[in-house]
């Protein structure tokens, strides 16, 4: 099976080609990139006027299967992913049961292969049942197909356990992703603690709940010469801590979500539960800091924290609504509109944050770059196309997004996974 | 006087200064109704008002019920928390069910901020917020303002000090919004752990010293201190709270201005935030607040329900000898 992409303006993290190229993909691998390829094939895409990037990678997604298939499944989540331009997604383990053993990992990979739209790599939990008590069998998780572990949804709060997790994960060759939140400090907060929470009378989740865990994990990583990846950073202070740690040579990496560089805590003023998310939407100053962190590389990658919830679950009192919003289908549009078109990131930097760095961080050596000999995972973007995110066009099973109705510029044109067209605009 | 344009009362931030004055003026004429032998006017005859309390409350619910009855509305009391929610019925469902029985107005109290907003978006009836979480309790602030105005003849330029657990107080938030809108200067005073972050941005002064906070006050509003706050570790002890932030006669006479008004939204924790001597003393207007609560709630119900409906054809066979008619118009004496 082969595929030819004609007239591609190739964007890699280190370079944006000026002259259009043709790309030949054979048996899932990019075999040739040249100004003009004349091989005959049944499958051809003309990418004239479009940008062609290595397939986008989202290392922070919730697919809800097993356990809450009414919110999302591996199948519907994969559909949303490829519609959003992602060729690889990594799904978090806070399912029911928790992804804490090799068999569950294998069953998710198997189901994702049956669906066959994109690569799905499960993230195992760090502790059994995400109970913060004992470590999972890390070698078993690795052998089953995990690249990273996380107790996402909550922190590993026990500092001694986190120390052991870092030491053991380093030996097992797994990345640890920490959801940074001291639960005693965030204690039931439903939004950012700020003048807005004071006005709304909603219980505040103070930023220090995030930063004390980041600071602790940086210290652990420094002491153990181990690495840690900070999930969904939301605060200026978090960016500062990571920036300083990186300057000291500590092996810390970090990610941020589109909603944290586009929205502030004012978005919950109308008690819209679609804007209830954890970590919560912060202040304009924090939004600016996240952008600065993405620009200077303190924040390595953009992730969605795609968190589907049913209407029934969200249409309740703000206090009782679950945290999270879907994000797979808006990430590219928001990143291009808010960061690239507004000159925060260049096109190569966007590729770095959404493909090259995520691949590097988790160790996907054949991905993250568009080059001969590497995987045929490709995302084609129409950089100038304007579109509106409409509820009825959402591919995800859940519709919980504060971005419904938002106008964006920059749209996914096609998503190619292993040389196969998984999504293409009609 | 201007025109009333609101369908719901969710919080005082939605009201203009003129709206608030209109409520206070309307309440003034309704207060006379409660003083009569026949304490009833037909202003809302044929209307149905449901009080829907998801949180326990005696005085606010009773006050609303009495207000509705004195306007001749039919009333329906539902206490929602344990029964319906334990059956897995959502707030929205429950309210829609009640509404399906042609209720015109729902008075709602709920432990979560924003619930009245959620209902106002989805429900067809008018919604009055009778307290949502720590956010807002607009009729309490209105009756407080009414009481202040009645006693002191103005609100503008007064110094009002609110003492207690500001963090968890919807009464404090509504009063801050209402009083500052009407031109008063508000100071909040309480332990630092019970002071919400950036409260200064609501145009208040903050003090952690009772003496300093009350010395210029024309009005002192004391808040109920929930006993759970000590368990939740906000406070070292209730004893220390009473010593540093509780108001007794000695402190009152030593620090406060003469003729200061002492207010409390009730129910009081005597011996904690105020002593019995102060609660029952000459400066206390706590019971006036309760009396005025009925009048203010009558005014709100009347404006929300009476003003929005089209006048019915006028019947000439009217016996009522009041300033009100069946059609829901009212002659308010302004001065």
A425 shares contact with chain B (CB less than 8 Å): no
Nearest-by-Cβ selection for A195 from B91, B134, B198? B198
Contact B202 A320 (CB under 8 A): no
Q: Are residues B204 and B273 located together in one domain of the fold? A: yes
Contact B198 A198 (CB under 8 A): yes
Nearest residue to A227 (alpha-carbon basis) of A253, A195, A193, A196: A253
Q: Are residues B264 and B160 located together in one domain of the fold? A: yes
Q: How confident is the model at residue B79 (pLDDT cuts 50, 70, 90)?
A: confident
Structure tokens at B144: 């407080």
Residue B203 maps to a domain: yes
A195 shares contact with chain B (CB less than 8 Å): yes
Q: What is the 3-state secondary structure (H, E, C) of B7-67?
A: CCECCHHHCCHHHHHHHHHHHHHHHHHHHCCCCCCCCCCCCEEEEEECCCCCHHHHHHHHH
Please give the angle made by the CA atoms of B285, B286 and B288, to the nearest 5 degrees. Answer: 65
- CA distance to partner chain A, nearest, from residue B237 (Å): 21
Judged against a pLDDT cut of 60, whether residue A119 lies above it is answered with yes
- Over residues B14-42, the mean pLDDT reads 94
Among A35-44, A51-60, A343-352, name the one with the lowest average pLDDT.
A35-44
Judged against a pLDDT cut of 90, whether residue A225 lies above it is answered with yes
Q: Are residues B39 and B130 located together in one domain of the fold? A: yes
How high does pLDDT run on average in chain B? 88
Q: Taking the CA of residue A144 as centre, how many other CA atoms within 13 Å lie in the half-sphere pointing to its CB?
A: 26
Chain A 271-300, CB below 8 Å of chain B: which residues?
271
Pick from B52, B113, B121 the residue to mutate for testing the A interface (most A CBs within 10 Å). B113
Residue B5 maps to a domain: no
Contact A271 B113 (CB under 8 A): yes
Q: What is the CATH number of the domain that holds B103?
A: 3.40.50.1370
Contact A201 B110 (CB under 8 A): no
- CA distance to partner chain A, nearest, from residue B174 (Å): 10
Nearest residue to A374 (alpha-carbon basis) of A42, A26, A7: A26
Q: Give residue-wise pLDDT tens across range A12-43.
A: 999 999 999 999 999 999 999 999 998 777 78
Pick from A197, A282, A315, A317 the residue to mutate for testing the B interface (most B CBs within 10 Å). A317
- CA distance to partner chain A, nearest, from residue B195 (Å): 9
Q: Are residues B112 and B160 located together in one domain of the fold? A: no
Nearest-by-Cβ selection for B113 from A193, A202, A312? A202
**Per-residue confidence (pLDDT) for residue B317, from 0 to 100:** 41
- CA distance to partner chain B, nearest, from residue A298 (Å): 29
- Tell me the residue range of the domain where B48 lies: 12-136+290-306
Contact B91 A317 (CB under 8 A): yes
Contact B197 A315 (CB under 8 A): no
Residue B78, beta-bridge partner list: B52
Contact A319 B134 (CB under 8 A): no
State the greatest distance between any 2 C-alpha atoms of chain A, in Å, as a whole number.
66
Catalytic residues of A: 305
Residue B168 maps to a domain: yes
Please give the angle made by the CA atoms of B58, B62 and B67, to the nearest 5 degrees. Answer: 155
Q: Are residues B55 and B82 located together in one domain of the fold? A: yes
How high does pLDDT run on average in chain A? 97
**Per-residue confidence (pLDDT) for residue A23, from 0 to 100:** 97
B206 shares contact with chain A (CB less than 8 Å): no
A192 shares contact with chain B (CB less than 8 Å): no
Q: Are residues B167 and B263 located together in one domain of the fold? A: yes
**Per-residue confidence (pLDDT) for residue A207, from 0 to 100:** 97
A316 shares contact with chain B (CB less than 8 Å): yes
Q: How confident is the model at residue B87 (pLDDT cuts 50, 70, 90)?
A: low
User: Domain map of chain A by residue range?
Assistant: 55-369
- CA distance to partner chain A, nearest, from residue B92 (Å): 7
Q: Please tell me which residue of chain A has the smallest CA distance to B13.
A: A199
Give the span between the Cα atoms of A168 and B212, in whole angstroms.
58
- Looking at residue B182, the DSSP 8-state letter turns out to be T
Give the span between the Cα atoms of A47 and A87, in whole angstroms.
18
Which contacts qualify for A338-343: CB closer than 8 Å, 24 or more apart? A338/A258, A338/A261, A338/A262, A339/A261, A339/A291, A339/A294, A340/A383, A340/A410, A341/A409, A341/A410
Residue B317 maps to a domain: no
- CA distance to partner chain A, nearest, from residue B115 (Å): 6
Contact B114 A318 (CB under 8 A): yes
Contact B133 A198 (CB under 8 A): no
Q: Are residues B86 and B148 located together in one domain of the fold? A: no
- Over residues B225-245, the mean pLDDT reads 89
Q: Are residues B150 and B284 located together in one domain of the fold? A: yes
Residue B6 maps to a domain: no
3-state secondary structure of A72: coil
Q: Are residues B274 and B143 located together in one domain of the fold? A: yes
Please identify which residue in the block is written with the tokens 């994960």: A169
**Per-residue confidence (pLDDT) for residue B98, from 0 to 100:** 85
Contact B198 A200 (CB under 8 A): no
Give the span between the Cα atoms of B147 and B59, in whole angstroms.
17
Give the span between the Cα atoms of B176 and B11, in whole angstroms.
12
- CA distance to partner chain A, nearest, from residue B329 (Å): 33
Contact A198 B111 (CB under 8 A): no
Give the span between the Cα atoms of A23 and A370, in whole angstroms.
9
Q: Are residues B99 and B202 located together in one domain of the fold? A: no
Nearest residue to A297 (alpha-carbon basis) of A355, A357, A343, A250: A357
Please list every residue in chain A whose beta carbon sits closer than 8 Å to the beta carbon of residue B88: none
Nearest-by-Cβ selection for B133 from A194, A195, A201? A201
**Per-residue confidence (pLDDT) for residue B250, from 0 to 100:** 96
Q: Are residues B243 and B260 located together in one domain of the fold? A: yes
Please list every residue in chain B whose beta carbon sits closer than 8 Å to the beta carbon of residue A199: 173, 201-202
Q: How confident is the model at residue B85 (pLDDT cuts 50, 70, 90)?
A: low
Give the span between the Cα atoms of B140 and B128, in whole angstroms.
12
Q: Please tell me which residue of chain B has the smallest CA distance to A195.
A: B198
Give the span between the Cα atoms of B227 and B237, in whole angstroms.
10
Q: Are residues B161 and B274 located together in one domain of the fold? A: yes
Nearest-by-Cβ selection for B197 from A193, A201, A315? A193
Q: Give residue-wise pLDDT tens across range B117-127.
A: 999 998 889 99
Judged against a pLDDT cut of 50, whether residue A99 lies above it is answered with yes
Please list every residue in chain A whose beta carbon sits closer than 8 Å to the beta carbon of residue B199: 198
Give the span between the Cα atoms of A15 and A5, in whole angstroms.
19
Judged against a pLDDT cut of 70, whether residue B335 lies above it is answered with no
Contact B92 A315 (CB under 8 A): yes
Contact A318 B197 (CB under 8 A): no
A422 shares contact with chain B (CB less than 8 Å): no
Q: Give residue-wise pLDDT tens across range B239-258.
A: 999 999 999 999 999 999 99
Give the span between the Cα atoms of A360 and A339, in whole angstroms.
22
B132 shares contact with chain A (CB less than 8 Å): yes
Residue B209 maps to a domain: yes
- Over residues A118-130, the mean pLDDT reads 98
Residue B145 maps to a domain: yes
Among A214-228, A243-257, B266-280, name the one with the lowest average pLDDT.
B266-280
Give the span between the Cα atoms of A166 and A177, in whole angstroms.
10
- Total domains in the fold of chain B: 2
Among A38-42, A74-78, A250-254, name the one with the lowest average pLDDT.
A38-42
**Per-residue confidence (pLDDT) for residue B318, from 0 to 100:** 40
Give the span between the Cα atoms of A390 and A124, in whole angstroms.
33
- CA distance to partner chain B, nearest, from residue A236 (Å): 18
Q: How confident is the model at residue A298 (pLDDT cuts 50, 70, 90)?
A: very high
Residue B101 maps to a domain: yes
Judged against a pLDDT cut of 70, whether residue A131 lies above it is answered with yes
- Over residues B305-322, the mean pLDDT reads 46
Contact A200 B132 (CB under 8 A): no
CATH 3.20.20.140 given to domain A55-369: yes
B170 shares contact with chain A (CB less than 8 Å): yes
Q: Please tell me which residue of chain B has the smallest CA distance to A192.
A: B197
């Amino acid at each position: 099976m082969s595929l030819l992409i004609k007239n591609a303006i190739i964007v890699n993290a280190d370079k944006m080609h000026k002259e259009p190229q043709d790309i030949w993909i054979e048996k899932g691998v990019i075999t040739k990139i040249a100004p003009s390829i004349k091989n005959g094939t049944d499958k051809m895409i003309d990418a004239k006027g479009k940008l062609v990037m290595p397939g986008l990678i989202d290392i922070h997604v919730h697919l809800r299967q097993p356990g809450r298939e009414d919110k999302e499944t591996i199948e519907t989540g994969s559909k949303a992913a490829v519609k959003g331009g992602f060729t690889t997604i990594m799904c978090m383990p806070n399912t029911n049961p928790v992804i804490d053993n090799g068999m569950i990992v294998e069953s998710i990979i198997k189901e994702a292969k049956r669906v066959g739209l994109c690569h799905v790599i499960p993230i195992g939990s760090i502790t059994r049942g995400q109970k913060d008590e004992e470590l999972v069998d890390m070698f078993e998780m690795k052998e089953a197909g995990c690249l990273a572990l996380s107790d996402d949804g909550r922190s590993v709060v026990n500092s001694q356990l986190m120390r052991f997790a870092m030491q053991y994960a380093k030996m097992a060759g797994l990345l640890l992703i920490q959801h940074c939140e001291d639960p005693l400090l965030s204690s039931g907060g439903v939004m950012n603690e700020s003048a807005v929470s004071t006005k709304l009378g909603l219980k505040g989740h103070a930023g220090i709940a995030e930063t004390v865990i980041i600071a602790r994990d940086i210290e652990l990583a420094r002491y153990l010469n181990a690495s840690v990846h900070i999930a969904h950073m939301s605060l200026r202070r978090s960016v500062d801590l990571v920036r300083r740690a990186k300057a000291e040579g500590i092996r810390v990496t970090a990610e941020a979500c589109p909603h944290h560089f586009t929205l502030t805590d004012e978005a919950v003023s109308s008690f819209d539960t679609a804007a209830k998310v954890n970590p919560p939407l912060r202040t304009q100053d924090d939004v600016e800091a996240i952008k600065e962190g993405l620009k200077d590389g303190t924040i390595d990658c953009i992730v969605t924290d795609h968190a589907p919830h049913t209407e029934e679950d969200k249409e309740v009192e703000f206090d009782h609504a679950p945290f999270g919003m879907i994000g797979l289908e808006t990430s590219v549009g928001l990143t291009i509109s808010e960061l690239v078109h507004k000159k925060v990131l260049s096109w190569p930097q966007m590729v770095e944050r959404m493909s090259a760095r995520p691949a590097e961080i988790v160790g996907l050596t054949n991905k993250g770059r568009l080059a001969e000999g590497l995987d045929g995972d490709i995302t084609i973007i129409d950089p100038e196309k304007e579109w509106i995110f409409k509820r009825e066009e959402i591919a995800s099973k859940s519709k919980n997004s504060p971005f419904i109705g938002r106008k964006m510029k920059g749209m996914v044109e096609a998503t190619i996974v292993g040389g196969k067209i998984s999504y293409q605009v009609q | 006087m201007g025109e009333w344009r609101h369908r719901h009362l969710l919080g005082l931030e939605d009201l203009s200064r003129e709206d608030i004055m209109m409520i206070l003026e309307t309440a003034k004429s309704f207060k006379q109704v409660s003083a009569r032998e026949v304490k009833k006017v037909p202003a809302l005859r044929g209307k149905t008002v449901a009080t829907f309390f998801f949180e326990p409350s005696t005085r606010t619910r009773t006050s609303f019920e009495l207000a509705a009855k004195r306007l001749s509305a039919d009333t329906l009391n539902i206490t929602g928390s344990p029964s319906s929610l334990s059956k897995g019925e959502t707030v929205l469902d429950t309210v829609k069910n009640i509404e399906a029985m042609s209720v015109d107005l729902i008075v709602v109290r709920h432990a979560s901020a924003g619930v009245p907003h959620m209902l106002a978006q989805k429900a067809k009836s008018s919604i009055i917020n009778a307290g949502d979480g720590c956010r807002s309790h607009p009729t309490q602030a209105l009756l407080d303002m009414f009481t202040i105005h009645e006693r002191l003849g103005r609100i503008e330029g007064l110094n009002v000090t609110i003492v207690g657990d500001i963090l968890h107080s919807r009464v404090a938030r509504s009063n801050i919004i209402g009083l500052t809108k009407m031109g008063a200067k508000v100071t909040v005073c309480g332990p630092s752990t019970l002071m919400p972050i950036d409260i200064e941005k609501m145009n208040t002064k903050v003090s952690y010293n009772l003496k300093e906070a009350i010395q210029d006050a024309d009005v002192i509003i004391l808040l109920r201190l929930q006993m759970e706050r000590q368990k939740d570790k906000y406070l070292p002890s209730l004893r220390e709270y009473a010593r540093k932030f509780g108001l007794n006669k000695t402190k009152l006479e030593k620090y406060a201005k003469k003729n200061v008004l002492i207010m409390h939204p009730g129910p009081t924790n005597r011996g904690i935030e105020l002593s019995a001597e102060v609660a029952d003393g000459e400066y206390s207007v706590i019971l006036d607040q309760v009396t005025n609560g009925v009048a203010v709630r009558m005014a709100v119900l009347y404006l929300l329900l009476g003003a929005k409906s089209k006048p019915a054809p006028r019947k000439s066979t009217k016996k009522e000898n009041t300033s009100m008619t069946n059609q829901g118009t009212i002659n308010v004496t302004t001065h």
